[in-house]
Amino acid sequence: AQTVTQSQPEMSVQEAETVTLSCTYDTSESDYYLFWYKQPPSRQMILVIRQEAYKQQNATENRFSVNFQKAAKSFSLKISDSQLGDAAMYFCASANAGNMLTFGGGTRLMVKP
């Protein structure tokens, strides 16, 4: 069984600043993927970034990057140059070989102008 934990229910960041959202996971699988999804007020789930566990290099997508620490089972999301449109719920998730997604409880990110 997989578990995903997001220890920060809410985070706040000033516009243009950098913020890091934390996520830890536990899995017995050797082959798995990790994801960060964004859920804006529309509630549409949008993929932000993905990381294959077998890859050592941290994934990067424009202003979004991850710090993947496999031994520590940690998968944090860094948002640089925060924008008002980044305000949303962010969910960390893991997928195993059966493609079953397990989600964390979410972190609400607020961006202050």
Partner 1 sequence: SQTIHQWPATLVQPVGSPLSLECTVEGTSNPNLYWYRQAAGRGLQLLFYSVGIGQISSEVPQNLSASRPQDRQFILSSKKLLLSDSGFYLCAWTRLVIDEQYFGPGTRLTVT
Residue ranges in contact with partner 1 by CB under 8 A: 31-33, 35, 42-45, 47, 50, 91, 95-97, 99-106
Residue nearer to partner 1 on the CB measure, 16 or 45:
45
Least distance from partner 1 to the Cβ atom of residue 41, Å: 12
Cβ-contact 22, 81 below 8 angstroms: no
Q: Cα Rg for the chain, rounded, in angstroms?
A: 13
33-57 burial, b at 16+ Cβ within 10 Å, e below that, comes to bbbbbbeeeeeeeeebbebebeeee
Residue nearer to partner 1 on the CB measure, 50 or 78:
50
Residue nearer to partner 1 on the CB measure, 18 or 44:
44
